[in-house]
Amino acid sequence: MGDHNSLETLRSVSLLVEALYRDIAQRYSVSAAEQCQDIAVMRRRSTREGIGFYTKTLPRLGKALDKALHSEVPLKFVGFARRRQTAIPKFLWWLLERVLSTETGYVRIDADITALKDARQFLAFAYKLNIPYDQETEQSVIESFIRTEQELQAITSCDSFAVDPIATKAPLYCASFLLGSMLGILYPSMVLVALQLARKLERSQTSLESTLSSNMEDTPLRSTSLWEPTTLSTSSIGSRASKSSTELPRR
């Protein structure tokens, strides 16, 4: 099999997907005319979109189906024509109607489990297909990893957040880590950077606290400071009251 963008690869994957489609369609006695329509759609879309139709577009429809199953929401599909007077796509409708309500798009109470397995198998068939990339793409990815490794070394070699690489790179990597955690995509480099930054922040905070405590010991704050409200004893209150009464002018 050729690289990701070759016609040979596209032709090979198309033949595999079409063979799987025909095998599933025969189980449900789908008419030859209906099969020809779906296969024509796959060939037309793959000619226009390339192999991405099998590795991205079809799996995207499969993920929408999974979301409808787990989140109790109607099927929301993009990139496929809707079948007339229904809430499901025209492509593969004969299989999806066994799982979803054609009126609402929600999962049917009496959903066909076998049809669901066949639909998920077909839509995700080429999702993680191991297809080699061309040399230019591979070199670009390798250079990207090298740049990331160099940036990580620059960050982990710093001892303080006051150093310029930390000050400039920390917000970027923190944002990447947060975005990756929300999307469910965490690479080892993200986790490593997050741990390094957390440790450096902890050391900086400890150093700051020790500096503040030493300053407070050298120059104690007065009792009238804003941080320590004044405390008066009962005797002092009485003495101040008597003193103020003697100082009142006589009439």
DSSP readout, 171-230? Answer: HHHHHHHHHHHHHT---HHHHHHHHHHHHHHHHHHHHHHHHHHHHHHHSPPPTTSSSS--
Q: How confident is the model at residue 83 (pLDDT cuts 50, 70, 90)?
A: very high
- 215-228 tens-digit pLDDT: 555 554 444 444 44
In the chain, pLDDT over 90 holds for what percent of residues? Answer: 39
Lowest mean pLDDT among 4-8, 91-95, 128-132, 158-162: 158-162
Q: How confident is the model at residue 231 (pLDDT cuts 50, 70, 90)?
A: very low
Question: Averaged over 12-28, what is the pLDDT?
Answer: 95
* Helix segments in the chain, DSSP class H: 7-27, 32-49, 52, 58-71, 93-96, 113-123, 135-156, 164-183, 188-218, 234-246
Q: How confident is the model at residue 39 (pLDDT cuts 50, 70, 90)?
A: very high
Examine the pLDDT at 130 and tell me if it is beyond 90: no
> Alpha-carbon dihedral of residues 131, 135, 140, 146, nearest 10 degrees?
100
- 172-185 tens-digit pLDDT: 555 555 555 554 55
